[in-house]
Structure 1
Amino acid sequence: MTTDPVDRLLATARGEPVDDPFRVTGVMMQYYFVCKRELWFESRDLEIDRENATVVRGTRVDETAYSDKRENLHLGMISLDLLDDGRVVEVKPSSALTEPAEMQLSYYLWYLDRVADIHREGVLAHPRERRRESVELTDERIDKVESAICGIHSIVTQPSPPPAEEKPFCDSCAYHDFCWC
């Protein structure tokens, strides 16, 4: 049995027998690029502060943007916001954290490609900003996704969270009190 996190994730996703299944969600991929401590908390199912203004705003955008097309497709480990003309669309309330959102969408495209042999283009949508950007699964993105999967594995298998690091968006984080109180 393989110990490579990417191979374990693929085997888990395909329903193959795995001694130690390994799962990565889109949120985990996003958190990996935002804050590794936040990723560790998420991996332990520690509930976020649902009353946090940032969470409330994101939930509102989730519930209202593209409501006529919204599908929330659950495919194994991933949950797609919607498909629009065959493209995978990831909806975000803001473009403030572009790289994490792009990598979440890149992971969805990688997952569809590697697990289901479905090749799609992606669109990152920021409806409040009336902005959309295309995201393609290039060789460079594939490498970055697979490297992140290994990094996620390293973090979530640790017995304790990584140390808190002060970042510009800590005050708006739903896990703020776990780090700074």
Structure 2
Amino acid sequence: MKTINATLINIYHICHRELWLHANGITMEHTSDIVYEGKLIGEDTYPQRAEKNQELEITAELDNGMMASAKIDFFDAKNGIVHETKKSAAKEKAHVAQVKFYLYLLRKNGVKAEYGLIDYPKIRQTERVDLPEEEMVEVEKWIAAVTEIIQLESCPPTLPISKCKSCSYFDFCWVGEE
């Protein structure tokens, strides 16, 4: 049984093919300079956070019997604030969905989770992410859709090539197609 995690929720909002590949053990992020740069920004931009906030791993059993998990880089437990750092605002919808998933899991575990903050240090912006009670059902729909996609017998089709240029799966999906 596969576990639904925050990465899968994020990828769901970008590309269903990448989601299926990633969930089925075909990962390409280790070959991507873009992914590596994002990791460095996340680790190096706010070193002072480690002193006052904690990294948190959280799991929950979902209503459909699946497990869900997340590793939150910075969680301010006192104020119930999830902090996420991203390289750029280019995939903002996916970033928001990921933070909503964090808030959802925290609340499912009875943890105070007021809101999230997505920091974009390269453009010096911060976005607040709220998850009102009525939107919890939206997160559950994402989880159901992710579950359905990862259980498909075959890989979903590619997106238009113009949307794939900076993806770590580009060569995998488009070899010999240019």
Query: TM range, normalised to the smaller chain?
Result: 0.7 to 0.9
Structure 1 stretches (4+) deviating beyond 4 angstroms? none
Q: Give deviations 1:83-112, integer Å, cap 9, x for gaps.
A: 244310111111111110000000000111
**Which residue is equivalent to 1:113?**
107
The alpha-carbon distance between structure 1 residues 167 and 98, as it changes in their structure 2 partners (threshold 3 A), is farther
Distance 1:94 1:24 in 2: 24
Q: Which runs of 5+ in 1 are unaligned?
A: 1-20
Question: Identity of aligned pairs, percent?
Answer: 28
Distance 2:19 2:55 in 1: 22
Q: Conserved in 1, the CA contact under 8 Å of 2:58 and 2:105?
A: no
2:159 is the alignment partner of 1:165? yes
Q: CA deviation at 1:145?
A: 0.9
- TM-score, normalised to structure 1, is 0.81
Q: Which range moves more in the overlay, 121-130 or 101-110?
A: 121-130
C-alpha RMSD over aligned residues: 1.8
Match of 2:70 among 65, 68, 78: 78
Distance 1:48 1:72 in 2: 25
Q: Conserved in 1, the CA contact under 8 Å of 2:80 and 2:112?
A: no
**Which residue is equivalent to 1:134?**
128
Distance 2:135 2:88 in 1: 22
More strand by share: 2
Q: CA deviation at 1:140?
A: 4.7
The alpha-carbon distance between structure 1 residues 49 and 22, as it changes in their structure 2 partners (threshold 3 A), is closer
2:42 is the alignment partner of 1:62? yes
* 1:1-181 matched pairs, under 5 angstroms: 21-70=1-50, 71-76=54-59, 77-84=69-76, 85-166=79-160, 168-181=162-175
More helix by share: 1
